[in-house]
Structure 1
Amino acid sequence: MTSILSSLLGSWALHAHASPTPSTTVPWWLDPDARIDAIARAAQALGWSARNTFDAEDPDGWDLEILADPHLAMVVRVVGVVVPLSEPSASSDMIADAWRVLGLTAPPPKGAIGCHLVAVEPHLAAARDDTEVEAAVEEWLAANPWRGVSDPKTWARAPKPLPRNASGRVFPGMGLIARIAAA
C-alpha cells in the first residue's frame, strides 16, 4: 500500500505546478476544491480513475474515490493546514491537529482502503525576497515532520516569483503527507 501512496504523491508532485493558479490573492492549493482536483488529476495521470465525492453536508465523509485497479478501491480525505514558517514549533502542532481531525472521518466503505492526506501550506508573513523564503523553507523541510517520518510525503515548490497575497504573505509551495486510515 505504501507504494501506491508513494506513486500517487509522486504523480501529484509532478503535476502540481500545472494546476490553475488564481491571478490574484492566493495560490490554488489554498482552495479545498482545487486541492482535491489536483489529487484526482494525479491519480488519473497514473491511469487510475478518480471521482470527487466531497459533500459539504458530511464533514466526516471522504473527499475522493480512486480506483487504482479493478481490485483496489481507495477513498481519500484531505485536510489543509496553513503553517507559518516563522514559528518552527507551530508546524508539528498544527499537523498533529490535522491528523486528529482526519481521525474523526467515518471508516472507509467495505472493500475500500482509506487514505488520509494532510495538505501542508506554509507561508511567511513577510520576506525581503524569494532567497530569504527559500532559506526558511529549507530549514523547515529539514525539521520535523519531514525528516524521519515513515509516512509517504512529498513537497512541491511554487514557481518563481513566489506567490504573495495582497497582505504580502508568501506561499512557497505545498506538501502532502499520506497515511492509511484505520478501518
Structure 2
Amino acid sequence: MTHLPYLNGYPAPLVTQVCTILEQGRLGQWIAHKYPARHDVQTDKSLYQYVSDIKQRYLKNAPAIAKILFDNQQHPVKGTLGTNTFVARVQGNKLKNKNEIRIAALFREAPAEFLRMIVVHELAHLKEKDHNKAFYQLCVHMEPDYLQLEFDMRVWLTWREHQATLTAKSIPASM
C-alpha cells in the first residue's frame, strides 16, 4: 500500500479505499468528476476581494485583515496550506494590530470548493486561534460541507503528489 501522508489520522478502511483508487489510476477522474468547476481567483487582488466577501458575510465583527495573498513559499508537506498571522506592534503610545492571511499558491489550480474551504479555515482563525471544537463549528457554519471538503482536498493533494512522482520518474536522469 502506498504511503499517504495527507490522510494520516483518517480511518484505515478509508485510506485503503483511496489507495486502491489511486493505484488503479482512477483518482484524478474521481476528483475531476466530483469537482469540475475551477475558480477564476488568480491574483492577490481578486483573492483579497474573495476573502473579504466571505468575511463580511460571516465575520463582520472580526478584526480587519491588512493583507491577503497567494504565497509561493507554502507547501503542504513542508509547511502549511495557509496561514493567518497576527502581529501586534507598538507605534508611539498605541498598540497596532495587523492580521495577514496567506494562501498556498497551489490553490490557484484547485477546484473552487477547495479554495473556499482553505479561506474559511483561515478566516475561522480570526475568532478561534486553536483547532478546537469551537473552531470547527465556526468552519461548518461558514461552509456546511467543510469536513468533507477538507478530506477531499487531502485526497486531491495526494493525487497531485502522486502525479508529480510519476512525472519525475518518467524524466531521464541525464537531463
TM-score normalised according to structure 2 size: 0.27
Q: Which has the higher helix share?
A: 2
TM-score normalised according to structure 1 size: 0.27
Q: Which has the higher strand share?
A: 1
Larger radius of gyration: 2
